Homo-oligomer: A and B are copies of this chain.
Amino acid sequence: MDLALHVRQAAEAARAAARLLASTSGEARNAALEAMACALEAEAAGILSANAEDHASASAAAGLSAASLNRLKLDAGKLAEMVAGVRAVAALPDPLGRVRLHRRLDEGLDLIQLTCPLGVLGVVFESRPDALVQIGALALKSGNAVLLKGGAEARRTNAALAAAIHRGLEAEPAIPVAALQLLEGREAVEAMLDLNGLVDLIIPRGSNALVRHIQSRTKIPVLGHADGICHIYLDRAADPAMAVALVLDSKVQYPAACNAVESVLIHAEAAPRLLPALVEALTAAGVELRACERCRALLPSLAPATDADWDTEYGDLILSMRIVDDMDAAIAHIHAHGSGHTECIVTDDIVTAERFLREVDAAGVYHNASTRFADGYRYGFGAEVGISTGKLHARGPVGLEGLVTTKYVLRGHGQKVSDYTGAGARRFRHEDLPD
Are B412 and A368 within 8 A (Cβ)? yes
Instruction: Given A23-B359, A405-B391, check contact A366 B412 (CB 8 Å).
Output: yes
Instruction: Given A392-B201, A410-B369, check contact A380 B421 (CB 8 Å).
Output: no
Taken residue by residue from 250 to 261, chain A's Cβ proximity to chain B (1 for < 8 Å, 0 otherwise) reads as 000110000000
Are A408 and B105 within 8 A (Cβ)? no
Please give, as numbers and ranges, the residues of chain B lying within 8 Å of A368 by CB-CB distance. Answer: 411-415
CB distance from A100 to the nearest CB of B (A): 10
Interface centre among A22, A119, A215, A418 (most CB of B within 10 A): A418
Are B378 and A221 within 8 A (Cβ)? no
Taken residue by residue from 405 to 427, chain A's Cβ proximity to chain B (1 for < 8 Å, 0 otherwise) reads as 11111111111111011000000
Q: How far is the CA of A248 from the CA of B419 in the complex (A)?
A: 12
CB distance from A74 to the nearest CB of B (A): 23
Q: How far is the CA of A405 from the CA of B420 in the complex (A)?
A: 33
Q: Chain B interface: which of A29-37, A239-247, A314-322?
A: A239-247
Please give, as numbers and ranges, the residues of chain B lying within 8 Å of A248 by CB-CB distance. Answer: 416
Instruction: Given A245-B414, A358-B22, A417-B253, check contact A395 B407 (CB 8 Å).
Output: yes
Are B105 and A391 within 8 A (Cβ)? no
Q: How far is the CA of A170 from the CA of B277 in the complex (A)?
A: 49
A91-119 residues at the B interface, CB under 8 angstroms? 103, 105, 109, 111, 113, 116, 118-119
Are B395 and A405 within 8 A (Cβ)? yes
Q: How far is the CA of A363 from the CA of B118 in the complex (A)?
A: 11
Closest residue of chain B to A350 (Cβ to Cβ) is B411
Taken residue by residue from 11 to 38, chain A's Cβ proximity to chain B (1 for < 8 Å, 0 otherwise) reads as 0000000010011000000000000000
Instruction: Give the size of the chain A interface in residues (CB under 8 angstroms).
Output: 71
Are A407 and B362 within 8 A (Cβ)? yes
Please give, as numbers and ranges, the residues of chain B lying within 8 Å of A367 by CB-CB distance. Answer: 409-412
A278 interface residue, CB < 8 Å from B? no
Instruction: Given A22-B358, A408-B396, A417-B373, check contact A391 B249 (CB 8 Å).
Output: no
Query: Would you mind naming 29 contact pairs between A and B with Cβ atoms under 8 Å apart?
Result: A19-B335, A19-B359, A22-B361, A23-B358, A200-B391, A200-B392, A201-B392, A221-B221, A249-B416, A253-B421, A254-B417, A362-B407, A365-B407, A365-B408, A365-B410, A366-B411, A366-B412, A367-B411, A367-B412, A369-B411, A369-B415, A370-B415, A370-B417, A372-B417, A373-B415, A378-B428, A380-B428, A380-B430, A392-B393
Interface residues of A (CB under 8 A from B): 19, 22-23, 103, 105, 109, 111, 113, 116, 118-119, 200-201, 215-216, 219, 221, 239, 242, 245-246, 248-249, 253-254, 335, 353, 357-359, 361-370, 372-374, 378-380, 390-393, 395-397, 405-418, 420-421, 428, 430
